[in-house]
Amino acid sequence: MSESEVTLLVTLTGRDRPGVTSRLFAQLSAHDLTVLDVEQVVIRGRLILGVLLACGHSPDLTAIHRKVRTLAADLGMEAELTLGSGEQAGRPRGRLHVTVLGNPLTPAAIAAIAGRIAATGANIDRIERLASRPVTCIEFDVSGADPDGLRTALARESASLGVDVAVQRGGLHRRAMRLVVMDVDSTLLQDEVIDLLAERARRAEECAALTAAAMRGELDFAQSLRQRVALLAGLDESELTDLLKHLRLTPGARTLVRTLSRLGYRCGAVTGGFTQFTDWLAGELGLDYTAGNTLEIVDGRLTGRVTGELIDRPGKERMLRMFAAQAGVPLSQTVAVGDGANDLDMIAAAGLGIAFNAKPAVRSAADASVNVPHLDVILYLLGISRDDVEAADADDLDLISVPSAQNTNSAARSLRSR
């Protein structure tokens, strides 16, 4: 539309009831109007309906005002009509999603985030709650913002407020994600498996010293892994089987993978740890792809060596690319989740990189950061609400209640690097 053309914003507020939207548009249909935008929100039974209209060359604004106000009075609602120009209507909408996670999420935090958005010259077009548990998640649709500048500004703000904030491009970009690949130790699992094995081999202190040396940069990952695995030489194979009984999944891991799978995503796990445990995770969670290092076992005991191609920091990125190729998904439609420096390459390569309770260097490099102990909040960063999760669960129960050959679960498509 031209910048000189008149726009009319019609807003109805009041108790929600069936037929409000259809009756409003029926009144508007008799006039020379074009619908530019519609937004409708219901909060605890109270409706807010906004319609942005472009007016024709000779709009009968008096008649439009009268009809809308008469309808509002009949419905027991309030009506507001505001005239504007085409220039005001031309602001690009829905360009960015700003997702805010908190437990609790306070009014002060929302005020600070909204204030920072406004300070950058951006506009909040819509605010929506995606979830109230396990954390509260509010999402802003923002237009007129520079993504990098807004991300930097909100990262500083979020640290002082104790909330997580993610800034992503809007539209189909986020909805196009189709493959999610996660680290294992301290991500899918609460534990560091090699530390637990070292405890069983009575070499925990030596293992911890090697880990610390690697974190200081004195050893690279490959050196550190080989030296730590060497400490496990002689450990009975039965210890690995027994350890599986004691591994702790991260809260929300089952919900995350189950929901993604039901919504058509592929899910994978890649680790600098060991296939003896990723194999278990594949069966436990229904993962599509897994990759890790394999502990060599001879005559029922660990030899202190790993076999096959080493999965280190570059190896994780390589596995992400391989999983994407297997799934027929471009890298731009992949998500990588991790917590340590070993995950940096795959986080950088993925379409969306998420730091989960991560080291500072990983948080600063990732597109989004989550610092709560619930892995399923990653769903909200993908625009999947708690209602979507519960609807997916309900749909699955409906399928189970009507058995058929088409509804039986297929075996997980695990791809393991040996």
DSSP 21: H
Q: Does residue 104 have a cis peptide bond before it, meaning omega lies within 30 degrees of 0?
A: yes
Q: Report yes or no: 38 and 52 within 8 Å, Cβ to Cβ.
A: yes
Nearest to 182 by CA among 276, 310, 288: 288
148/97 Cα distance (integer angstroms) = 13
Dist. CA 78–CA 20, nearest whole Å: 12
Tokens, residue 96: 């960015």
Cα 247 to Cα 109, 226, 243, distances in angstroms:
36, 23, 6
**Dihedral, CA of residue 347, residue 289, residue 190 and residue 223, to nearest 10:** -70
Q: Please say if 185 is a catalytic residue.
A: yes
How many Å apart are CA 222 and CA 314, to the nearest integer?
A: 11
Handedness of CA 357, 358, 360, 364 (dihedral sign): negative
Token pair 């640290």: residue = 159
Report the C-alpha gap between 198 and 202 in whole angstroms: 6
Beta strands 6-15; 136-143: pairing state: unpaired
Write out the two tokens for 286: 């229904």
Q: What are the Cα distances from residue 236, in Å, to 242, 301, 306, 386, 418?
A: 10, 5, 15, 44, 20
60 assigned to active site? no
CA gap 55, 33 in Å, rounded: 5
3-state secondary structure of 162: coil
Strands of the 179-182 sheet, one edge to the other: 301-307, 289-298, 266-274, 179-182, 334-338, 352-356, 368-370
Among candidate residues 141, 164, 185, 288, the one labeled active-site is: 185
Q: CB under 8 Å, gap of 24 or more: what pairs does 295-303 form?
A: 295/229, 295/232, 295/240, 297/237, 300/236, 300/237, 300/238, 301/233, 301/234, 301/235, 301/236, 301/237, 302/229, 302/232, 302/233, 302/234, 302/235, 302/237, 303/233
- Which of 183, 191, 312, 367 is catalytic? The answer is 183
Question: Which residues belong to the active site?
Answer: 183, 185
